[in-house]
Structure formats: structure tokens, C-alpha cells
Structure 1
Amino acid sequence: MESQRTFLFIGLLLVSFLLFTEWSKEQTAANADTSAVTQQVAGPANNDQADVPASSQADVPMQATVATRSVISVTTDVLAVKIDTRGGDIVEAKLLQHAETHGSDQPYLLLGEFEGKEYFAQSGLIGLNGPDASSQGRPVYQSEQTSYTLSGDELRVPLTFVDSKGVQFSKTFVFKPGQYDVALEYDVTNPTADPVQVQLYTQIKRTVQEKGSMVDQTYLGAAYGTSEEPYEKYSFSDMADANLNKNTQGGYVAFIQHYFVSAWVPGQEKNNTIYSSLRNNNSIIGAKGEATNIQANGTAQLTATYYMGPKDTDALEALHEDLDLTVDYGWLWFISQPLLNLLKFLYSIIGNWGLAIIAITLIVKTLLYPLTKAQYTSMAKMRMLQPKMQALKERYGDDRQKFGQAMMEMYRKEKVNPMGGCFPLLLQMPIFLALFYVFLESTELRHAEFMLWLTDLSSKDPYYVLPVLFGASMFLTQKLQPMTVTDPMQQKMMTWMPVIFSVFFIWFPSGLVLYWLVSNLISIAQMLYIYRGMEKKGMKVRG
């Protein structure tokens, strides 16, 4: 196979993969839009009984204690959270260590109301005597303070509610320094002479939303894990088609977006039901625990953990053995994860993400050098056989069968593998695609600076310098490998390939374009070195 045809095939394969991914995203968004009913989204003031899932038992109406509703502010070193006393939901979360946009002094708003949409973390107690199952609406909790600030090793934010029968409910959020996970503790005290039954639910509510460009985020939607399914995506369109209803021990539910994730992890020793719903353009994914009975004059505690923060694989895995899979590297995760670990290790030594990218490129290209040498050697030998190939074409004319037999005999005598230039390139493609997901999914690269004008390796080059240089490197590669294809259409496509890729890479993260530019430059240097060695042996490999 001729080098230009091989390169053209690889380029078209890559473009086809990216276009197919984008088409899949558009189809998912379109299905969700047509299945959901769009309306004005209600804010926390209407965050009521409509969000509460059905319990496993019939609901018993109860008269709730009259209380004034308020919003509680909680601040730690990494989080600024607001909790609505109606239901005790987390209705806003700002990540203090992550800027909203590059160079901004505003922290990133992960949960909350923005652009007519809402994203909340909800939890409560349903069942026969659960306060969230009341026909009067969700309970309004009492709080001793309207604001809390973490100052020690732990910050406890207690909310209390007493129902009409005197049953006491204490909902406590536990924050710790440096952590994006928050423990939830529900303490139920039953001073009555009758047993009480409650059922804990934890869920995430998010307005149906289209994701942006493919290079902005790989997946926007829900996900869950069970004892049999470690990680399953459940998109907005999936919710529109059917409601989830899966029983499992342990498990988790999550909402995933570019660089960030929120997830509820219920008690892993309990049997839980993973569920979903889509109503009024609002999607919900959650987990319901088993019904818990509290005997007369008895107490019980129900617990869960909520994570709201960056896609930190170590922190996520510490909460649940499969939760780190929400850092989705696609089907090449087994290559992406080691590459990310190597990239982080290089950064710990160098201290600059751009230089770490260059270093990992050098390492990858060095490890692949034997394949690269085989590739260019095969290409050079194929070019040397072009005169003999043309002579065979003239001898056999339109007799393709005889021409093919003669060509294979020539390859055998000259000891040339016509696929020698193709297989090495194909073997390198998984590494390129794995790095594609690394640059898109790695929170560490968000707003990472390099030098000069490259102040954010997670976004496109603002001046398009890297895409232009990448196109120039492709053009130089073509010049160093004289075109041997004879088909006019293929010749035109090869001629325009540098321009096409330069335009295509304008929207790619600059860190990814930097990797491919450096990879091309190293390939050019390796090609010249290999060709010089062949020429010293008397082989004319360049025209």
C-alpha cells in the first residue's frame, strides 16, 4: 500500500470517527427534545412534592409543622453550598478551587439555577411515615444558623423537623476540608407508642440540556452503577423512552458533564432501587433504599454520600469502587488511564502541563520508533519499486489478474511487505484516540497554562497558531514523501489534507493539537534519520 493512500485512509478514519461521534450526540439531543415537554423551569420556590419518588408503601398524609422557609449557606475551603430548608435539598454548589471561565475570579457554578435551567441534589424520607410523603408537601426544616463556615476537621450542618405525631427527624450534612463529598445522616427518633416506617431516597434533578460541541464535552447526561453493571450511561433520551427500575445491593447514581460530576452513593450494605423519571423537561435519576422500621421509643440512622466536584479518579474510587468509571475515556480506557498517569507523573517533575505533553509525546514516539522505522522503510522500498510497477502496468495492460500475480511475485523477490507502511499507522491510532479522550476528560488540564499565548490547554488556540503549524508540518511531510498515487481524486485530497486538518483542528483543545504537532515534528526528524541511514547503504529513497 502506498504511503499517501495509507495516510489518507488514516485521516479519513479519524475524521469519520469524530463526525460519527458528533452525529450520535445530535441524534441523542434531538430525541430528548422531541420526547420532553418544554416549559418554563420552576426554581426552588416550587421544588415540591412533584419531585418526590413513589415509596414502596402507600403514602399516609400528615400535617407538617409550620415553619418559615430559608436558605442556609455553607462554606468550606473548596465548596460554597446553599441548602434549601424545604426538603433540605442542595440547590447551589460553587467549586471555589475552579474558575467559572479562564482568568475569571468567579468560582465554577456546578449546581444551581442558570440560564433557565436547574440542577439540584435532593434527598428525603418517604414510606408510610416519611415526612416527604406528606400530602402537605415536603417538610420545612429548622436550622439554628443561616450560615456555616468550616474551621476545623469537620463541619456538621443539622436540620430538624418534627411531624404532627411528635416523630423527630434530624437531617445532617457533614463537610470536611479539601473534600467534595458530603456525608448525609438521617436520624429518626420515634417517641410514640407506635412503630414508624421510613424509606430514604437520594436523587439528582437536572433540566434536559443539549451538550455543546463534541470537543467541549464527551458526554452530558446521567449514569448509574449496580452490582452487575459497574457503569452504564442513561441519557436524556433513554429517560424519555423508559423509566429505570433496577434493584441492586449498593450502587450509585450520577450526572456527568465536561470535567465535573455529581453523584449519590447510598449505603452499600443495603438493597437499593435505581430509578429515573422525566417530567416537564426535568430529568431525575436516583436511588431508593429499603423500608426501615423504627419501633416505639426507638431510633434509627440512614446514611448516604453525595459528591459534587471535578472528575478526580482517586476521590471517586474512594467513595465507590466503580464511581471512577464516570471519568469516561471511552472504549480505549485501558490505554487512556496509563497515559494520564504518565502525564500526571511528568507534570509532577516538570511543573508545566505543556512541557509534560511534549515529554509524553517524546516518550510515545520513542517507544513506537521500531514501528515507525518499519513504516518508513517499507514506504521507501515501495517508492523504489515504482518504475518496476509502471513497467508491469504497461506489460499487462487491463489484465488485472496477471498484473496482480506479477506484482505479488515482484514483492516476494524484492522482500517487500506492501502492508508494512499501513500496519504501524493503524497500531498508532488507538494511542492517538486514547489521548484524545485524556485531553477531553482530564480535569487537571482545564485552564492549564503552557507559555506565551497558550494560557488554557483545554480550549482552542485563540490565534490558531498551532493548527496552522500542524498543517505546515503535514505539508512538509508530504514534500519529503513524493506523491506516488496516480488517481486524480486521491491526489487532490492529499494536496488539500493539510488545509482540511488545519481547519478541523481550530476547534480542538490546544493541548491535543500541541501533542499532534510535536508528534509530527518528531516523525519528520525520525523519517530524515531513517532515510539518511538507508541512503548511506546505497538506497535512493528520495526523488
Structure 2
Amino acid sequence: MSSQQQSPQDNRNLIIAVLICGLIFLGFDYYRMKTAPEIEPTMQTETIAQEGASDAAALAPQVAKEMAQQQQAVTEAQASRTLPVRASNYDGRVALKGGRIDELNLTHFFEDLEDKEEVHLFLPAGDKVFFFEAGWLGQNIESPNSETVWQASANKLTAAEPVTLTWENGQGLQFQRTYVLNPEDYTITVTDGVSNTGTAPQTLTHYAQLHKGATPEVTKDLQKQSTYTRYVGPEGFVGGEHTEVSYKDLMKKGPQSFTTRDGWVGISEQYFLGAIIPEQEEMDKKANFRYTNVRGKNYFSVDVQSEPMTVPAGEYRETTYRVFAGPKKISLLEEQGAKLDLAVDFGWYHIIAKMFFDILMWLYGLVGNLGLAVILLTIMIKIALWPLAAKSYVAMSKMKKLQPKMAQLKEKYGDDRQALGVEMMALYRQHKINPASGCWPMLIQIPIFFAFYKMILISFEFRHADFGLWIHDLSARDPYFILPIIMGLTMLIQQKLNPPAADPVQAQVMKMLPIIFTVMFAMFPAGLVLYWTTNSILSVAQQYFVMRRLGVEA
């Protein structure tokens, strides 16, 4: 059969094959985190010459390495010098040694639904270290570092009671750091200042850093969490664009630096984010992404460094920035500005996925159930595509009505597929049937499906979202596989409504599709399966309605 005489069933099979390939790819991607090989780290040997505060790019790696080495040696006695952090959404601590925020638990969110253990975003020690620290660098000047023990203005940090830490270097410089909790938007405002009480000007460089340490085993898990459809790791909006510098790239290629005037840097998890948002001012800053290995433990860091600033004698300088530590909830990220919402990256399907997400959140505000919102959005999409789908179902219904005549042609021409194809196309033209029109609904569904997949996979809003009945987490697979089974049954019904494949081999393959799709969808998030199941049920109903209207026996 020539390409011009391809049967409509061949076209449909080609589209189904493309869809199956895409589903297999997504299924592999979804479970890739369980089978990804460990990446062997290459040790970085950093020789840092103490060239003074004017060379911030050289000083910062030394700071990162010192912090990693000192973190290894933290004892219980040292760690006890802390201030509790208490807020409606936070439970953590500030370590007076280093002045760092090294523990933050998100009290409104749990690691899983069964154990009800709070999400631990910042951790001071163990096999997963994650903390925030800031400081100053200068030439021939003692400046605050990881060993510095600060004095606190209060015995706890709360939303109602900010804390100011102070430390004097004995050389005419007094440093202070003020922490202000903003629990309503999961940010901590940090103001770092320095007063020069000496007789000579001093030049200093300020840095703010997020530091993540992991054992080789945990590093392996972190690498697995980044897949083709979602990103986990160091990232930021620097130099006017969203940049992702993966754990793998840092371990293989070494540190990366960018010059920027606005934006942010952070370390992202699937649903949570730690980020530093500097003042959005017309002043160049350095954004750095780094990796080092100390005694077999991997350390990753992101930092923002100011340009060297001179503090004249008798004067005071300060810099203010925010630390975001919370869920990657899009509305929350958008409120922060600085393009922080790009931490939720919809990728190639950004326009479609973001549009669906916005409509979905509007529907969720109306009905109060995200699963019901998915069903309503699916109905809206189906209504929008109704005319196109109706034309397709009319064409397929007419083709099914022609089955007796097509059977006669098959009997007449036997194995002469080219002659059979010519006569079939003539039959379609005689009855004004466009066989290609039957493919459009499936073609349209492909980008919609992938956009839904991306949206559900990376959106925090689906995490632990309760649909009711047996589904209590729309971001996880259906625990009892009820939705995939219902979806498979609707596919069987739809096959009965469609005209049979002309080729016996193709007919057998088509019979296997409901089983193949059921198995593949069983491992997808329940929210995605809910969308596809609802869409399949609506498609069956529409096709049955069209066939009844045309007098075609179902």
C-alpha cells in the first residue's frame, strides 16, 4: 500500500505507538530514582592563596571547605550553644557558634502520611546536613567564621521577637546579624552589618551561603531524585535566566560562578526549597555553585557574594536579604518576587501546564477538593475539544457502518493489499469520509497528557492531597489500583465502539492495549490516572452518543 493509501487504522496505530513510547519513557523516568547508578565523585584539590578580600572568588571556596571540615568535628557540647526558633510553621534552632540556622522543621508538613513526622528541611548533623550561614571576608582582618561564638540579644527567636547576634573582632570592627521571622511566607529576613570603630578604613566582602552535606549513600539518593521530568539540586535565577547546576555536574565539572544583579540561589528538593534572595539592587554580585569532598563526605553549596565594600572609620555598612525555607507552593513563591517561582519548572510544556495549573487552582478554590478539581478541569477540556472529537467519532461511526462493504472488498481482493487499499479509499471518498479525522483527538491528547503529567509530578499542591475514599495522596500511585482498572475497562468498551483493525495482527495488538495501558498507568500518580480515566469515560459517552445519533449499532 502506498503512503497515500494508508488506512485510518494504520494512522491510529502509529499515534498509539507514539503514545505508548511516551508512556514507557515516563514510567522509566518515574522509577529511575530506584535504579540509577551511583556517580563516583572526583576529588577536588583546592589550593587557596590568601589574597585578601578583593579576591572573593578565591576566598569563598576556602570558606566552604573550612565549614565542611569543621562540621565533621562538631561535638554535642559545641552544638548545645543554640537558640530555639519557634513560629507557627517553624521549629528549629540558631547555633550561636557560627551564627548559623542549622535546624528548621516545617511543622505543617509531614514526611509521609503514616508516621506524621515533620519535614526536616535544615539539619545540623548526620548523613544529611543542610544549613544557612553568612559572614564577612577581609585581608589581614579577623572576621566571623564557623568557629565564632556570637552573643545573642534574646534567648529565643520568634515571629514576635527578632534576635540580634553581635561579635567584636578586637581590631575595631563590630559585626552584627539580625534574624526576623516571617512565618506567613516562610522567609527569614537577615540583616548583616559591620561598624568600624577603628581609625582606618576596612574593606570587606559579604557572603551568604546554603550548605548541604551528604554521605556517598545519600548523595546517590539525591542524584536519583533528579530525572528527565523533575529537577532536584542546586539552582537559581542568575544572570537573567533560570540555571540548574546538578549534583552530578558539580562533582564532575567543578564549581561554577555567575555574575548577577538580582534573582536568587538555592538548593531544591522535589517539594521544598531553601533559597537566598539578596536585595534586588543595581549592584553586581557573584553567585557560586560549589562542591568539595572532605573525609569521604560530599558537600554542596550555593552562595551569593557582594562586591568588596569599604567601611570608613567611624561608619556602618549593612546588607539585607531573605532566606526562603519552605514548600514550593507556586502562589507562595510568586509572592517573593525575584523569579523564585521558576523553582517550579514546567519545562517544555510550561504554557499548557501553567494554564492548566492556574485553572485547577481556581476550581480547587470553588470545590475545596483537588481530585474534584481535576475531574472538572477534564470536563472543561473535553467540552473545549468536543467539536473536534465529534467529527472524529462521526468518521469512525461511518467507517463502522461500512464494515459489511469492507468485508466484501477483503474477500474480493484477498492478499492484494495495494488493490484493497485503493478500493477502500475510493469507498471512503464515495461516502465522504475523511479517515485522517479519526486521528485528531488522539494527537491533541498527547501534549495535554504530558502537560498534566508534568504538572502533577512537580506541583507541591498535589503532595498529600486527599481525594477521599481510598485515595489520600494524589501525587502517589493508587494504592489499590482501582482507577487504572477502571481506565482499562473503559478502553475495552471504546474498542468495541471503534471499527476493527483490517489486519489480523493489528487486531490482536489492539486487544492487548487495555492490558498494557492498565499496567503502565498503575505506577503513575493517582491524580494523572484520575484525569485519564475521567477523559476515557467522557470519550466513551461522547462516542456512544454520536453513534446513536447516526443510527450505528454499538
Global fold match (TM > 0.5)? yes
1:309 Cα shift? 0.6
Distance of 1:377 and 1:114 partners within structure 2: 65
The 3 A distance-change label for structure 1 pair 388 and 36 is farther
The residue correspondences of 1:228-247 to structure 2 (distance < 5 A) are 228-229=240-241, 231-242=242-253, 243-247=255-259
Distance of 1:291 and 1:214 partners within structure 2: 36
Match of 1:507 in 2: 523
1:107 Cα shift? 2.1
Unaligned runs of 5+ in 1: 39-48, 62-66
Residue 169 of structure 1 aligns with an amino acid whose one-letter code is F
Question: 1:190 touches 1:296 (CA, 8 Å); kept in 2?
Answer: yes
The residue correspondences of 1:75-474 to structure 2 (distance < 5 A) are 75-112=86-123, 116-128=127-139, 138-151=147-160, 155-206=161-212, 207=214, 208-211=219-222, 218-229=230-241, 231-242=242-253, 243-269=255-281, 270-280=283-293, 281-386=298-403, 407-474=424-491
Match of 2:68 in 1: none
Deviations 1:64-111 (A, max 9, x none): xxx976122211111123222232222111111212221544321122
SS at match of 1:426: helix
Residue 55 of structure 1 aligns with an amino acid whose one-letter code is A
1:399 Cα shift? 6.7
Bigger drift between 165-174 and 432-441 goes to: 432-441
Deviations 1:39-82 (A, max 9, x none): xxxxxxxxxx9xx99725779x9xxxxx9761222111111232
Deviations 1:353-381 (A, max 9, x none): 22222211211111111122122222223
1:174 Cα shift? 1.2
Distance of 1:106 and 1:26 partners within structure 2: 23
Match of 1:55 in 2: 56
Distance of 1:53 and 1:367 partners within structure 2: 61
Residue 274 of structure 2 aligns with an amino acid whose one-letter code is S
1:113 Cα shift? 5.3
1:241 Cα shift? 3.1
Residue 355 of structure 2 aligns with an amino acid whose one-letter code is P
Bigger drift between 83-92 and 410-419 goes to: 410-419
The 3 A distance-change label for structure 1 pair 469 and 448 is same
Tell me if 1:12 matches 2:12.
no
1:508 Cα shift? 2.1
Deviations 1:365-417 (A, max 9, x none): 11111122122222223344555556666766777666655554444443322
Question: 1:131 touches 1:138 (CA, 8 Å); kept in 2?
Answer: no
SS at match of 2:522: helix
Question: 1:56 touches 1:291 (CA, 8 Å); kept in 2?
Answer: no
Question: 1:226 touches 1:248 (CA, 8 Å); kept in 2?
Answer: yes
1:352 Cα shift? 1.8
The 3 A distance-change label for structure 1 pair 430 and 100 is same
Distance of 1:282 and 1:68 partners within structure 2: 21
Tell me if 1:494 matches 2:505.
no
The 3 A distance-change label for structure 1 pair 187 and 355 is same
SS at match of 2:542: helix
Unaligned runs of 5+ in 2: 1-7, 45-49, 63-76
Distance of 2:268 and 2:59 partners within structure 1: 33
Tell me if 1:35 matches 2:64.
no
Question: 2:105 touches 2:122 (CA, 8 Å); kept in 1?
Answer: yes
1:529 Cα shift? 0.7
SS at match of 1:419: helix
Distance of 1:464 and 1:421 partners within structure 2: 30
The 3 A distance-change label for structure 1 pair 471 and 53 is farther
1:479 Cα shift? 2.6
Distance of 1:73 and 1:289 partners within structure 2: 29
Residue 103 of structure 2 aligns with an amino acid whose one-letter code is E
Residue 197 of structure 2 aligns with an amino acid whose one-letter code is P
The 3 A distance-change label for structure 1 pair 493 and 122 is farther
Deviations 1:446-492 (A, max 9, x none): 2221222222222222222222222222222223325324252x444
Distance of 2:132 and 2:466 partners within structure 1: 33
The 3 A distance-change label for structure 1 pair 318 and 352 is closer
Distance of 2:546 and 2:252 partners within structure 1: 57
Question: 1:272 touches 1:287 (CA, 8 Å); kept in 2?
Answer: yes
Percent identical across equivalent pairs?
Answer: 31
SS at match of 1:238: helix
The 3 A distance-change label for structure 1 pair 234 and 57 is closer
Match of 1:525 in 2: 541
Residue 309 of structure 2 aligns with an amino acid whose one-letter code is T
Distance of 1:391 and 1:285 partners within structure 2: 72
1:19 Cα shift? 4.6
SS at match of 1:110: strand
Residue 143 of structure 1 aligns with an amino acid whose one-letter code is A
SS at match of 2:152: coil
The 3 A distance-change label for structure 1 pair 417 and 25 is farther
Distance of 1:286 and 1:417 partners within structure 2: 60
SS at match of 2:205: strand
Match of 1:64 in 2: none
CA RMSD across the alignment:
3.3
Bigger drift between 433-442 and 10-19 goes to: 10-19
Residue 186 of structure 1 aligns with an amino acid whose one-letter code is D
The 3 A distance-change label for structure 1 pair 127 and 181 is same
Bigger drift between 185-194 and 88-97 goes to: 88-97
Question: 1:58 touches 1:127 (CA, 8 Å); kept in 2?
Answer: no
Distance of 1:399 and 1:457 partners within structure 2: 51
Tell me if 1:74 matches 2:90.
no
Deviations 1:291-348 (A, max 9, x none): 1110111100112211111112233233234210111222111111221221121122
SS at match of 2:480: coil
TM norm structure 2: 0.83
Bigger drift between 314-323 and 341-350 goes to: 314-323
Residue 484 of structure 2 aligns with an amino acid whose one-letter code is P
Question: 1:167 touches 1:191 (CA, 8 Å); kept in 2?
Answer: yes
Residue 147 of structure 1 aligns with an amino acid whose one-letter code is K
The 3 A distance-change label for structure 1 pair 149 and 454 is same
Distance of 1:530 and 1:437 partners within structure 2: 32
